[in-house]
Amino acid sequence: MQRFEYKVIPAPKRGEKARGVRTTEERFALALTHLMNDLGAEGWDYIRADALPCDERVGLTGTKTTFQNVLVFRRVIADADDTPASRPALLLSSDPPAVAAPRLGPAEMHVTGSAPAVGPAVVPPVAGLAAERAPV
């Protein structure tokens, strides 16, 4: 089972100056691009941006609520227990799994001698039922 670790960082409030980048939107996009590429190089995947409430003190006894913009990243934690033997088998493998023969219960046991074989009852179809309603 995959496990993740998360990293939450404040979103940049200002853009970065660069040659050929003139507008505020372009500078802000450049700052985000550099931030995301730096974290991506460390293995972090960007998940989402959130605006979360934060209570701040105002004066001696007052508080006010502001919203902080944060970026959420995650990456896979490599477990020491993450070996091929500890992972569950894939259900879509090309080779069917080996299945043991079913054990027969008392009503399904083969009878030796002249007694009739006991097995599941076969019910004849009921007249008047539509073909799609008949049991398969």
Residues 4-26 pLDDT 10s: 999 999 999 998 899 998 999 99
Residue 121 domain flag? no
Residue 22 domain flag? yes
Residue 118 domain flag? no
Residue 86 domain flag? no
How far is it, in rounded angstroms, from Cα 87 to Cα 46? 26
Number of structural domains the chain divides into: 1
Tokens standing for 107?
């009503």
pLDDT > 90 fraction of the chain, expressed in percent and rounded: 49
Q: What is the pLDDT of residue 63?
A: 94
Residue 40 domain flag? yes
Residue 9 domain flag? yes
Indicate whether 126 pLDDT > 90: no
Q: What is the mean pLDDT of residues 57-76?
A: 94
Distant-in-sequence, close-in-space partners of 57: CB < 8 Å, separation ≥ 6? 63
Indicate whether 93 pLDDT > 80: no
Residue 73 domain flag? yes
Q: What is the mean pLDDT of residues 99-127?
A: 57
pLDDT band (50, 70, 90) for residue 94? low
Structural domain span for residue 70: 3-77
How far is it, in rounded angstroms, from Cα 5 to Cα 11? 19
Which residue has better confidence, 77 or 82?
77
Q: What is the pLDDT of residue 111?
A: 53
Residue 119 domain flag? no
Indicate whether 106 pLDDT > 60: no
> Which residue, 100, 98, 118, 116, is CA-closest to 108?
118
